[in-house]
Structure 1
Amino acid sequence: MAGCALAYGFGLVVAMLLPGLSIGDDFVCTRATYYGSPDCLGTPTGACGYGEFGRNVNDANVAGVSRLWKNGTGCGGCYQQVRCKAPELCTDEGVNIVVTDYGEGDHTDFILSPRAYGRMARPNCAPELYKYGVVDVEYKRIPCRYAGYNIVVKVKEHSKYPDYLAVVLLYQAGQYDVAAVEIWQEDCKQWRGMRRAYGAVFDVVTPPKGELKLRFQLASSVETTWVESKSVIPGEWKAGATYDSNVQLN
C-alpha cells in the first residue's frame, strides 16, 4: 500500500437537503458502507426491480439507500461523492452512483456496491478503505445522464399477457423522480393510474387491449410535470421485452 495511509472519512454527494444534516452549499453529511458481492457488481434482486440492469448500469457503480428510498420513488436517482476529508486515503472526485436498491446499515444512507466503494479510494488505497467498513461521506443529487438512450419501458418477466402488466422504467435521465405512471384507457378516453407495486415497478390488472400509451409524472424539488411517451407498447406485448418510449430527459 505504498503512499496510502489509514484515515477515516471520504467525500460523497445530493441536490436536496435532509433535515439536520445540511452543511451548506447543498451538501449533506452522512455515512456509507458496502455490501458483499463476489463479482463487485450490483444485485439482480434489488428492491427497485431493475434486474440485470441494476447490476451493470453506470459501470456497476450502484447503491442501496435508506432515507433516500422515498417509498421507491428514489429508484434511479444519481448521486455524486465529493470533498474527500481524508486526502491521503480518498480522491477528491469520489464516484457517481445510481440508486438501484433499498438497504439499511449502521446509521448509513448508502450501501454501495464493492466496485463503487473501492473507486472512492486513491490508487493502491482501496484495501485500506474496505477495512473501515463504514465511513463518513458528503453527497448531493446530480442529474443522471445516459448518452444515446431514451427512457426504456421494460415489461417485467412476471407479467401475464393479456391480463396483468407490470413495467419498470430504465435509463431515467435528468434529476427527476418518477412519482406516478398512467396508462391510456381508450374506451373511456381517460388516463388510468398504475399501481406502484414495489420500487420502480408499476403494474395494472386487465390492461387496455391494443396498443398501449403511457405517461410519467416527473417530480423534482422545484416542479412536478407529466410527460407522455411518444411511442406505444405493441398490442401483443411480451413479458421480458423492452420498448423505447422516445422520451429523453435532461
Structure 2
Amino acid sequence: MGFFLNYHYYLLSVLLLLPALSYSEDTFTCSRATYYGSPDCLGTPSGACGYGEFGRTVNDANVAGVSRLWKNGTGCGGCYQVRCTVPKLCTDYGVNIVVTDYGEGDHTDFILSPSAYSRLGRPDTADELFAYGVVDVEFRRISCKFKGYKNLMFKVHEHSRFPHYLAIILLYQAGQNEILAVEIWQEDCKEWRGMRRAYGAVWDMPNPPYGSITLRFQVSGSMGMTWIVANNAIPGDWKAGVAYESDIQLT
C-alpha cells in the first residue's frame, strides 16, 4: 500500500510539472534565418506591420520580418531572442529582435535587418556569416523592453483624416503580449465599437466619435487574456502622424 501511494504521489508530481516544463521561457525552437538588403543597416519604413519610421530604428534597428510568427498581424511587436548555431562563428547569446514586418525566405522564420544579422556572429566573423546568406538558428519568445519607454503609446497613422477616418498603431508593446482586438467607446450609444485590423498592427474606423477617444484593447500573453481600458487615450483634436503617450504599462 505504501508503494502504491508513493507511486501515485510521484505520478501526480510529474503531471503537475509538465505544464511548467512545456511553457518554460528557456525552451528554444530550431529554425533558419536570413537578412534583407538595407544600405543603412536599419529596418524598413514600408514594413507590413505599418510602423513606418518607428520600424526603422526601434530596438537599435534590431528588427525582423517573420512568416509563421506573423499570425495575420497579431505577431507584430513581438520580441524574440535569436541565436545562430554555426560553430565558431556565432555568439552564445545572439540578438533580441522586434517583429516589424512580414517576410518569407528559404525555410526561414526570420528575415533580419543587417544590424540584427551582424549581431549573430562574433566581431571578427561577421563577414563570413553574411556570406552564408541563410544560417541555422534557434529562437525563443522574450519580453519586450524598450530603452527610455515604459508606457504604451497610441500613434495616429499618417493616413488618418480628421475627423472622418481614424487609424491607429499601438507602440512600445512591452512584455510578451499580443493585441487581439481594439474598440472605441461610443458615448452617445453607450457601447463599444470594434475597430478593424486594416493590416499588420494598424487598426482603423470610419467616422470615429467626436471628442476625446477612449479605447479598450484585448491583450493575450504575459498578462493573461484581458481587456485594458485607456480613458481619453487620444485627444478630440487629434492629428495624423502624432503619437500620444498613455499611462498604461504592459508587463
The question of a shared fold, defined as TM-score above 0.5 by the shorter chain, is answered with yes
**Greater RCO (CA < 8 Å, at least 6 residues apart):** 1
1:109 corresponds in structure 2 to 109
Contact 1:167 1:201 in 2 (8 A): yes
Structure 1 pair 55–130 and aligned structure 2 pair: CA distance change class (3 A)? same
| Offset of residue 246 of structure 1 | 1.3
5+ residue gaps in structure 1? 1-16
2:199 corresponds in structure 1 to 198
1:28 corresponds in structure 2 to 29
**TM-score with structure 1 length normalisation?**
0.87
The separation in 2 between residues aligned to 1:172 and 1:154, in whole angstroms, is 12
The percentage of counterpart residues that share the same residue type is 68
Q: Secondary structure of the equivalent of 2:234?
A: coil
Residue 81 in structure 1 maps to residue 82 in structure 2: yes
Aligned pairs for 1:35-74 (under 5 A) are 35-74=36-75
The separation in 1 between residues aligned to 2:26 and 2:77, in whole angstroms, is 23
Residue 219 in structure 1 maps to residue 220 in structure 2: yes
2:96 corresponds in structure 1 to 96
How many residue pairs are counted as aligned between the two chains? 228
| Offset of residue 222 of structure 1 | 8.3
Contact 2:81 2:95 in 1 (8 A): yes
Counterpart residue type for residue 184 of structure 2: I
The separation in 2 between residues aligned to 1:178 and 1:170, in whole angstroms, is 11
1:13 corresponds in structure 2 to none
Deviates more, 1:217-226 or 1:160-169: 217-226
Larger Rg: 2
Structure 1 pair 79–245 and aligned structure 2 pair: CA distance change class (3 A)? same
1:8 corresponds in structure 2 to none
2:8 corresponds in structure 1 to none
| Offset of residue 81 of structure 1 | 1.9
| Offset of residue 228 of structure 1 | 1.1
Deviations 1:164-188 (A, max 9, x none): 0000011110100111111111011
1:210 corresponds in structure 2 to 211
| Offset of residue 118 of structure 1 | 0.5
| Offset of residue 87 of structure 1 | 4.3
| Offset of residue 148 of structure 1 | 3.4
| Offset of residue 26 of structure 1 | 2.3
The separation in 1 between residues aligned to 2:231 and 2:122, in whole angstroms, is 44
The separation in 1 between residues aligned to 2:137 and 2:55, in whole angstroms, is 23
The separation in 1 between residues aligned to 2:100 and 2:27, in whole angstroms, is 23
| Offset of residue 126 of structure 1 | 0.4
Deviates more, 1:236-245 or 1:91-100: 236-245
| Offset of residue 224 of structure 1 | 1.2
Contact 2:149 2:172 in 1 (8 A): no
Contact 2:153 2:172 in 1 (8 A): yes
CA RMSD of aligned residues (A): 1.7
Deviations 1:24-46 (A, max 9, x none): 95211111000000001000000
Contact 1:231 1:246 in 2 (8 A): no
2:17 corresponds in structure 1 to none
Contact 1:48 1:200 in 2 (8 A): yes
| Offset of residue 216 of structure 1 | 1.3
Q: Secondary structure of the equivalent of 1:232?
A: strand
**TM-score with structure 2 length normalisation?**
0.87
| Offset of residue 242 of structure 1 | 1.0
Deviations 1:91-124 (A, max 9, x none): 0010000000000011111000001000111121
The separation in 2 between residues aligned to 1:37 and 1:143, in whole angstroms, is 27
The separation in 2 between residues aligned to 1:186 and 1:104, in whole angstroms, is 43
Counterpart residue type for residue 177 of structure 2: Y
1:159 corresponds in structure 2 to 160
- Runs (4+) of structure 1 exceeding 6 A deviation are none
Counterpart residue type for residue 171 of structure 1: Y
1:4 corresponds in structure 2 to none
Structure 1 pair 96–241 and aligned structure 2 pair: CA distance change class (3 A)? same
| Offset of residue 223 of structure 1 | 2.9
Q: Secondary structure of the equivalent of 2:213?
A: coil
Q: Secondary structure of the equivalent of 1:97?
A: strand
